[in-house]
Amino acid sequence: MTTTASTATDALPISQRLRERTAQAHESAERAAFLERLLGGNLSIDAWAALLQQYGAVYEALEAATRRLRERRDLPGLVVEELDRVPSIESDLAALAPRVSTPLPGVLPETRSYADRIHDAAGDPARLLAHHYTRYLGDLSGGQAMRVMIDRAYGLPDDEARFFAFDAIDELVPFKRAYRTRLDELPFDEAAISRLLDEANESFAHNERIFTALERTFA
């Protein structure tokens, strides 16, 4: 019985297996107290700027690694420049600076640990793709709703919300559909898929640890 269930799961597309295998970790991260307080308007704009600061370190690590993949022509159509977020984060932090009333915490140990995990995964396209998927597909999906909620709570004009804007992508829904199709077409064997799934759960766990650290910071 267990073997039959396992075989059926293995036959699913990679994108579906990712959604199903990470559902619990994804939900746990989304329910973090810091994120709920932030999106509910119960913190200050300083808390959003502090989260952006953490994202800056995470995306620096991720985009340094994906540049190397592009140079080697690995994962074509997936690790594309149109998704890069570092310049947008830097622009947002500069625009937000006049509104921030307390010193930002700097890059937290939990964030450095996440960046280190990405660096460690850089030599394995399957593991690195897990971080690529959790971050960028999240930004293209739930991240768009997050932008609306932060705007409603704190006011977020366009020049402070470049992180959420993917100007180089014409339409987000077809892009996400194409991303998942390319993901499903990857010639990964079961060992590589297993590493991808495990690493995606690690990625969500690292995000949750950052939220927990920020909850302590803004207690």
- Which residue is listed with tokens 């808390």? 47
Ordered DSSP codes for 22-64: HHHHHHHHHT-HHHHHHHTT-S-HHHHHHHHHHHHHHHHHHHH
The span from the CA of 98 to the CA of 77, in Å, is 38
37 is in an annotated binding site: no
206 is in an annotated binding site: no
180 is in an annotated binding site: yes
19 is in an annotated binding site: yes
Separation of first and last alpha carbons in the chain: 48
> ∠ at Cα 72 (67, 73), nearest 5°?
90
* Binding positions: 19, 26, 133, 180
* Binding positions for heme b: 19, 26, 133, 180
